[in-house]
Amino acid sequence: MRPMEPLLLTGTALPLEAIEAVARRGAPVRLADEAAAAVRSSRDLVEQHLGRDRPIYGINTGIGALADTTIPAGDLEQLQRNIVRSHSAGVGTLLPAEVVRAVILLRARTMATGRTGVRVEVIERLLELLNRGITPAVPSRGSVGASGDLAQLAHIGQCVIGEGAVLHGDGVRPAAEVLREEGLEPLELATKEGLALINGTEGMVALGALALVDLGRLLRAADVAAAMTVEAALGTDRPFAEDLMELRPHPGQAASAANLRAILRDSPVIASHRDSTHAVQDPYSMRCAPQVHGAARETHAFASMVLGRELGAVTDNPVVLPDGRVESAGNFHGEPLAYALDLLAIGATGLASISERRTFWLLGPGTSRDLPPFLSTQPGLGSGYMLAQYTQAALVSEAKGLSHPAGLDSIPTSGSQEDHVSMGWTSGLKLREVIGHLRSVIAIEVLCAAQALDLRRPIAPAAGTAAALAAVRERVPFLDQDRDLSVDIEAVTGLVAGGELVQRVEDAVGPLA
């Protein structure tokens, strides 16, 4: 396998595919020469302020509610170590390695803008962690999404200074041991650098960026699942006609309908009952799939816009400006991200909800269109896919609870100096869970629709749905008698999560929107 080309960190916004490559596939990263020059210039400006009497937040003062406390010159480096140590107050299960790696990459990107006042050595150490596969152990709870994701970034900062722990197999190891084995000395932080390590929205952005990638794939997979169900249910593709979509010109709706038309094009199953009187209308979960799927696509588009801006932003506090000013502002507040991530969770839950309804129809009411109860070949003796829909119902119910907006909440912190916070980190954590549930719900619909399509034989499905069916059957056989469905669900979930299901359909019908 050819080695991956290193990602060049220039300080400009990173594309989602680059973030995923580093976070999930271990792509190497290096700092661009021009970015290093900007960082050195910024550091020079910070050092020009040292020794002056004027208090500058976080450089020669305490932080948060202690901002009015002046720190003696001899204690400035100790201040930076204390900032990292004191803010490492996270609790709960550890974050997955891919999330931590995304956070490290994004924080290094922010530092590469030359607006945070750190030395090049700090950025290089963060990149060393990525390139050597050293992943700090970061607890998942503790951020209120206001002065950035302080606790999570602080646990990463601990690893930089040789403290804390790193992920190792199924457990953790002391960071000091791992750095020693790698020949890396703990980094001594200079003025401003401890604060720069912890003060940014990169945690929320990392969760959001990976969610955008995953949901983008699931939006297309949901269209594939819907097409399979419509065909297997002896439904009609007429409601997806382009001229009907033009009457209500939402871009997301149009894109989903175009996908359904492409996947179902020239379907022998649909043609077999084109003039049948078996049903005047399909249920909403089929007929209105473009409208509901399209609404989820619109949330994805909005969140992509918000996160796209944030991926090129500077959210440190204070920031170092080219004219030498070191200014404290509020760009670290996570509310824009919280609202976008909350909306994404709502859209994803809507996708899961309508997918579960289509599956329910195939398993029960589908008897009105000649499908056996629960798609079982031995109804009564066998339960078929009855319990698979129970699983969907449980996941959708949980997703609904998780979709309550966290960004509506605020609990003051730091003695009310930080008297309004975003809770955007919680928005991101909940979104990650919702997307995981959606992935499984869509997989179950695909699994059930594949069974129903096989039951329609000898009439062949459309080219698009036939490709999806073939992909499923390579992993899961036809259900001729009851068996452990969890194994089948896991297999199809992998097919959906990795994008292979959609890719196989695209190979047959062309690119999907």
Instruction: Kindly list the catalytic residues.
Output: 57
Rounded Cα distance between 292 and 418, Å, is: 39
Q: What is the C-alpha end-to-end distance of the chain, expressed in Å?
A: 30
Going by C-alpha positions, the residue among 104, 135, 119, 271 that lies closest to residue 200 is 104
Helices (H), 265-385: 268-272, 284-287, 289-310, 335-363
**Helix 16-25 to helix 97-111 angle, to the nearest 10 degrees?**
130
Provide the β-strand partners of residue 326.
320
> What's the CA gap between 153 and 133, in Å, rounded?
17
What tokens appear for 144 in the block? 């209120």
Contact 372, 379 (CB under 8 A): yes
Max intra-chain CA distance, the chain: 87
Alpha-helical segments (H) within 403-455: 424-455
Strand pairing partners for 94? 139
In sequence order, what are the beta bridge partners of 168? 171
How far is the C-alpha of 414 from the C-alpha of 412, rounded, in Å?
7
d(CA 82, CA 197): 12
Task: Please name the amino acid found at residue 119.
Answer: R
Closest by Cα among 292, 218, 290, 220 to 257: 290
In this structure, what token pair is assigned to residue 123?
A: 């950025």
| Residue at token pair 């209308």 | 281
Contact 332, 316 (CB under 8 A): yes
* Of 318, 330, 343, residue with least CA distance to 405: 343
Peptide bond into 458 cis (omega under 30): yes
> What is d(CA 497, CA 214) in angstroms, rounded to the nearest whole number?
7
Are 135 and 126 in contact by the 8 Å Cβ rule? The answer is no
Q: What is the DSSP string of 264-285?
A: HTT-HHHHHTTT--S-SS--HH
